[in-house]
């Protein structure tokens, strides 16, 4: 019985760690006039990503219904913060550009305020912010009662889940033949799928580790930029007392990180164009073609055309996937020996 209790605590600890971070932020947000704005400014999105990632994994490993419902709770908040960030980041980025009309900045700022108010409504309606801490308390109870696998079986299940996630991404790219027509539906969607592969290791807090390959491959050196090699996101959480863990190829993981980062930069540039066009259509009563023309007039020659950004995304994905980086990312399950 003692061993079973230990296993349950160890399995729940991953959730409880990030729930603790979120609980602290929400408790502080509850004292603010604008809880949603406080959570946005204090990076509540990060623990929410981790909790959503854990739910995505554990709904396949354990109780699909229980963890599926928990995932929707976290996703609702994370999506709300993401919507705020979308308009706020673009508005701030464009505010110094004198060619951007005030009406466009005002539109983006108005959308930001609207998304903040929507998240405040969600926080209240779903009882995230209340004196009884009702939502967090309920989630902790569900986590406590989940009934966790022992470490060895769970690591094997994580291995299968991670491989399945990779297979789904490869199928997604094959379905489009690396051809992208839409920044949001194609490039951003692929990046979302890839990003989960980098979130799981941090969310699992030591259950996934990186391992070097005795045989270096020259084609992977191009991904190992200073930015990637020094990124804190590419250092795995310490294995701690984990005796079993999933091993990923370090060089391939760096390549994955590079692709996520590169697609993110292209996505941000493209969605800026999309957001300005949206604002023009709403404020200037222009046709689609006229709005497209005006966007690039405002942004100037330095702004890469949307189609060129999509083509660039295609090119780097073709090279990355042709090298079978994802197929060779997972090395297998490792075991710590005393």
Q: State how far the Cα of 198 lies from the Cα of 292, in Å rounded to an integer.
A: 35
Domain ranges of the chain: 2-144, 151-335
In angstroms, the CA 191 to CA 317 distance is: 11
Q: DSSP readout, 164-202?
A: HHHHHHHHHHHHHTT--S-IIIIIIHHHHHHHHHHHHHH
Give me the sign of the Cα torsion angle 171, 85, 136, 140.
positive
- Euclidean distance between CA atoms 93 and 299, whole angstroms: 12
Q: Alpha-carbon distance 268 to 180, whole Å?
A: 15
The owner of tokens 């692929």 is: 190
CA dist., res. 2 & res. 11, Å (int): 14
CA distance linking residue 127 with residue 77, whole number of Å: 12
Q: Could you give the angle at which helices 64-94 and 250-283 cross, rounded to 10 degrees?
A: 60
Residues linked to residue 245 through DSSP beta bridges, in sequence order: 334
Residue 222 burial by Cβ neighbours in a 10 Å radius (0-12, 13-18, 19+):
exposed
- As given in the structure block, the two tokens for residue 216 are 């270096």
What's the order of all strands across the beta sheet hosting 244-249?
Answer: 208-211, 244-249, 330-335
pLDDT per residue, tens digit, the chain (338 aa), is 334 444 445 668 899 999 999 999 999 999 999 999 999 999 999 999 999 999 999 999 888 899 999 999 999 999 999 999 999 999 999 998 999 999 999 999 999 999 999 999 999 999 999 777 788 988 998 898 887 888 889 999 999 999 999 999 999 998 888 889 999 999 999 999 999 999 999 999 999 999 987 677 889 999 999 999 999 989 999 988 888 999 999 999 999 999 999 999 999 999 999 999 999 999 888 888 999 999 999 999 889 999 999 999 999 999 999 999 999 999 999 876 54
Nearest Cα neighbor of 309 from 248, 275, 257, 268 is: 268
3-state SS assignment for residue 274: helix
């Amino acid at each position: 019985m003692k061993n079973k209790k230990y296993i349950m605590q160890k399995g729940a600890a991953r959730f409880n760690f990030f729930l603790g971070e979120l609980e602290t932020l929400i408790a502080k947000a509850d004292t603010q006039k604008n809880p949603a704005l406080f959570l946005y400014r204090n990076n509540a999105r990060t623990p929410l990503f981790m909790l959503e990632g854990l739910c995505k994994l554990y709904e396949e490993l354990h109780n699909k219904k229980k963890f599926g419902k928990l995932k929707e709770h976290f996703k609702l908040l994370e999506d709300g913060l993401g919507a705020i960030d979308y308009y706020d980041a673009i508005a701030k980025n464009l505010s110094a550009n004198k060619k951007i009309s005030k009406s466009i900045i005002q539109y983006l700022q108005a959308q930001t305020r609207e998304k903040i108010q929507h998240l405040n409504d969600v926080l209240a309606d779903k009882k995230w912010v209340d004196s009884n801490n009702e939502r967090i308390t309920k989630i902790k109870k569900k986590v406590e009662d989940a009934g966790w696998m022992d470490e060895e079986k769970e690591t094997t299940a994580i291995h299968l889940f991670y491989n399945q996630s990779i297979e789904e991404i490869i199928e997604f790219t094959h379905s489009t033949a690396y051809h992208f027509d839409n920044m949001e539906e194609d490039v951003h969607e692929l990046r979302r799928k890839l990003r989960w592969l980098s979130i799981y290791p941090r969310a699992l807090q030591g259950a996934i580790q990186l391992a070097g390959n005795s045989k270096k491959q020259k084609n992977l050196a191009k991904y190992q930029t200073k930015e990637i090699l020094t990124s804190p996101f590419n250092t795995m959480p310490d294995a701690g007392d984990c005796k079993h863990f999933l091993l990923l190829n370090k060089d391939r993981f760096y390549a994955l990180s590079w692709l996520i980062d590169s697609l993110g930069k292209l996505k941000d540039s493209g969605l800026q164009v999309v957001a300005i066009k949206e604002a023009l259509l709403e404020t200037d009563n222009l046709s689609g073609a006229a709005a497209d023309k005006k966007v690039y007039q405002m942004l100037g020659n330095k702004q890469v055309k949307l189609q060129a950004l999509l083509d660039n995304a295609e090119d780097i994905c073709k090279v990355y996937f042709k090298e079978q980086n994802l197929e060779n990312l997972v090395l297998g399950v490792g075991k710590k020996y005393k």
